Structure 1
């Protein structure tokens, strides 16, 4: 029987340039979900500092990134829980790097991923991982991959990870309802929610994987009126979105049955096809029905 993993979607409302306060808030949520037996807690992109690169002091607020990374390692070991601490912004010369980590339940860093596909305004501040390949890695939950926010829009990133064996792909995100032009927003004020809800589930189906999507949320008192998109969820084949949150800060715990991914692959044979020598997008008729 395939394992069932408890995954905590920790949808935080980050306060700009307040890493100490934001860490304490995140740690409180992680302690709460660890007490409920969760195997993995995933936080949003930019959860320590928010995204305010033009604010005076933003770079200074990122300089203690190693202190917080080590705090998360200590927390993971203490609570025996794996943690994806959203993303942590790290200074790199005059630029910045946006980094996601996977920390194992023993406190070891299993993977480090630098955001590849930068959202257009980010390109003035961040350095992309450019042509580095996407790689999956082994964890206590099996083989996992990391992507960040706008990477969600690139099917190629998912394909590269599943070709390397990833079954769970974690996507920490900082995505708002107004991340488009006024003209785009006027077409449909719910357009970004439609984008996220559609794409997360589509990526899960087309890759026979689980997509752990965790976005930043708005303050609880503003609820659905916030400009933060929220909508953290686990996208799965067959079931669709599990544990989907609204737009305010909060937490959702999802029981991910890995048997669902096995059934999906047996039905859709995506990985099987991709592993075939000479695989390509064209199909030819199989004349021997015994091979179907």
Structure 2
């Protein structure tokens, strides 16, 4: 029988340029999730520093990224829980990279991914992973892939990961309700919520996988008036969105039944068709070479 994994969606409201404070809050949520029997805890993009690249201290606030990665590894080992610590900004010379990690329950790093599809304002500050392929990796929860925020808009990224066997795709995000122009916002103030809610579920259906999207949330006292989009959720075929949060800080725990993914693949045969297509392409290349 397929396992059921408990997944904690930790929708933090990060305080700008305050990695120590943000880490402590994240660790508190993760400890609570582990106490509730969770197998995996996922945090948002930029959860240590928030996204304030034009602030004078932003780059300095990213300087201790390795220290916090090590702390998450120690925490995962201590609690026996897998952790995706959102994203961590790392320096490579004068360049900054936006990195997501999957830390296994034994504290070891099972997967690493540098954000490929940068949102337009990010391109002044970050370096993309460019043409590196999307690859899945083995974890205690099976085969997993990592994507980040705006990657959600690129179905080919998901296709690469499921072609490599991914069943769960974790997607830390930092998505605002005001990420579009004033003209776009005027068309529909809830347009970004519409984008997230529809696309997460669509990606789950079209890839017979679970999409674990965890976004930053707003401060609780602002309620739904916050500009943070929130809406962390697990998209699953047949069932839709599980455990969806509102727009403020909080945590949701989802029971992810892997049997649902089996049923979806037996019905839709997406992976089977991808394997057939790849085999046909390979055969064509061989015949053309001879």
Deviations 1:222-272 (A, max 9, x none): 111100000000000000000000000000000000000000000000000
- In structure 1, the partner of 2:193 is 193
- In structure 2, the partner of 1:283 is none
CA RMSD, Structure 1 to Structure 2 (Å): 0.8
Paired residues for 1:1-292 under 5 Å: 1-276=1-276, 277-278=279-280
Contact 1:12-1:47 at 8 Å conserved across structures: yes
Question: Are the structure 2 counterparts of residues 279 and 198 from structure 1 closer, same or farther at C-alpha, using a change threshold of 3 Å?
Answer: farther
Secondary structure of the 2:280 match is coil
**Structure 1: distance between partners of 2:69 and 2:170:** 18
What is the deviation of 1:279?
A: 6.1
Deviations 1:83-113 (A, max 9, x none): 0000000112222000000000000000110
TM-score (norm 2): 0.96
**Structure 2: distance between partners of 1:14 and 1:93:** 26
Secondary structure of the 1:97 match is strand
**Structure 2: distance between partners of 1:48 and 1:245:** 20
Structure 1 or 2: larger helix share?
A: 2
**Structure 1: distance between partners of 2:223 and 2:131:** 39
Note the residue ranges of structure 1 that are not aligned, 5 or more in a row.
281-292
Secondary structure of the 1:185 match is helix
Secondary structure of the 1:222 match is helix
**Structure 1: distance between partners of 2:281 and 2:161:** 16
- Matched positions, count: 280
Secondary structure of the 1:56 match is coil
Deviations 1:14-46 (A, max 9, x none): 010000000000000000000000000000000
Deviations 1:189-244 (A, max 9, x none): 00000000000000000000000000000001111110000000000000000000
**Structure 2: distance between partners of 1:164 and 1:2:** 20
**Structure 2: distance between partners of 1:259 and 1:111:** 24
Deviations 1:109-149 (A, max 9, x none): 00110000000000000000000000000000000000000
**Structure 2: distance between partners of 1:89 and 1:21:** 16
Give the 4+ runs in structure 1 shifted more than 4 A: none
